[in-house]
Amino acid sequence: MSDCIFCKIAEHEIPSDIVYEDDKICVYNDIAPQAPVHALMIPRKHIASLDDVTVEDQELLGYMLSKVSDIVKILGIENGYRVVSNNGDNAQQTVKHMHLHILGNRKFTWPPG
């Protein structure tokens, strides 16, 4: 999508601190971190939210989840981390491109807020 900031980051049109990328996903450090380590994992395919995921996307989302363990090793947070997906306005999804937050290097509380 031409006006999506996350699509532009994945296409290297906007600079970012990329920690991992391949042909399906891009992972980069969040510019407003909510933990000492806070990265975003985005699919290169534009999917606005979890509400827009289709059966055709199940392989891509499975791939994303399977890559989390590799990413946390790159980030150095394999001792404990949180993966979050905000969906919709009430959940504070501010960019309409489905993404996973990978957070670590601090003790998290429950419930999250």
Q: Which residues are annotated as catalytic?
A: 99
- Identify the H or E element spanning 67: helix 58-75
Length of the chain: 113
Tokens representing 97 are: 């491109």
The neighbour count for residue 83, using CB atoms within 10 Å, is 15
